[in-house]
Amino acid sequence: MKIHSIADVLVVPFVIAVVYMGYQAYNQPNYPYLIWILVPIVGFILIYLFKPQMDFYWHKKFPLELDSKLKEIIEKYNPYYKSLDLDGKSEFENRLALYMEARAFKGVGSEQKDVPYDIKGILSAIPVQMTMHKKNFLIGDMDRIFLYKHPFPSPRFPFLHNVETHVEDGVIILSLEAFNLALNHVAGYYNVAWHAYIEAYLKVYKDNTDEIDEYANWETIELVSNFSEKNILDITLLKAIDPLIVVCVLYFTHREEMESNAPQLYEAMQKFFS
């Protein structure tokens, strides 16, 4: 039987100890059970505080099994996963399960709601794919992903927009409406989820971008994708965008077009993401 949360297992004896000592303190008020009860309470608190880390490292050794339906969905929407051999798919699936376990996805509306398993899987496949070459594939502390159904305003950008990344707070915010359009029209619609994760990737890992900086311009972007700066601003609804982020996004979403129309850029990207 797979243990979904090792922290939940470890906390059981501490809960039992608290109940037992509380019971004894009630029946034997002269014995200092109320003092000793602090020991299991502290243990309980520590396990609660470090639950995500404990569960993550447990599942690194004992990976969770992905739902077979999710594997089919990932294969449908993620050409990279589909191209992998059996060993590669196994590694991808292990990382995907770990990522989904380690990150909190919340739907935002009148109240916060849980995000469906398939949507979490499709979104999680993005950071997993871009970090397959890295040992640390969680992209730092980017541990909260908030999903709106539509464009949203925020204190940082007090106007409607479709994507926002806060590395300092470990937060990614996306419009599902915009993401779904890109999911179903890969070549013709800029992918805001890839944009958010690439922005986080560049800021968290701080890899040397010298070899790709020269290609980070709108002329090259339009050559690869036919997206003009206006097209992408209209899709993201942002006021300005770093073209370096866009170039990196296109390496994953328009790989064939980049290899054909900008082979030198494609080679530079292969080195950067390997």
Residue 64: DSSP 8-state: P
Q: Is 78 helix (H, G, I), strand (E, B) or coil?
A: coil
* DSSP-derived secondary structure for 108-156: ESSS-EEPPHHHHHHHHHHHHHHTTT-S--S-TT--EEEEESS-B--SS
Determine the number of helices (DSSP H) and then strands (DSSP E) in the chain: 16, 5
Q: What does the pLDDT read at residue 230?
A: 97
Q: Strand 104-108 and strand 113-114: pairing?
A: antiparallel
Question: Is the pLDDT reported for residue 133 higher than 50?
Answer: yes
Question: At residue 70, what is the residue type?
Answer: L
Question: Is the pLDDT reported for residue 6 higher than 80?
Answer: no
Question: Is the pLDDT reported for residue 1 higher than 90?
Answer: no
- Per residue in 141-175, pLDDT tens? 999 999 999 999 999 999 999 999 999 999 999 99
Q: What does the pLDDT read at residue 163?
A: 98
Q: What does the pLDDT read at residue 43?
A: 83
Residue 167: DSSP 8-state: T
Q: Which two tokens stand for residue 63?
A: 């990976």
**Of 142, 148, 70, 69, residue with least CA distance to 99:** 142
Q: What does the pLDDT read at residue 265?
A: 97
What is the mean pLDDT of the segment spanning 228-237? 97
pTM: 0.81
CA distance to 4, 19, 161, 274, per residue, from 164 (Å): 31, 45, 8, 26
- Per residue in 13-58, pLDDT tens? 878 888 887 777 777 776 676 677 888 888 878 876 777 667 667 6
Q: How confident is the model at residue 2 (pLDDT cuts 50, 70, 90)?
A: low
H-helix segments, 162-262 = 176-184, 192-205, 210-213, 218-225, 229-236, 243-253, 255-261
Question: At residue 118, what is the residue type?
Answer: D
The residues near 8 (Cβ < 8 Å, ≥ 6 apart) are: 51
CATH class of 63-272: alpha beta
Using an 8 Å Cβ cutoff, are 190 and 198 in contact? Answer: no
What is the mean pLDDT of the segment spanning 223-241? 97
Work out whether the CA dihedral 77, 150, 236, 98 comes out positive or negative. Answer: negative
Q: Where in the chain is the domain with CATH 3.40.390?
A: 63-272
Question: Is the pLDDT reported for residue 176 higher than 60?
Answer: yes
Q: How confident is the model at residue 60 (pLDDT cuts 50, 70, 90)?
A: low
Structural Rg of the chain based on CA atoms: 23
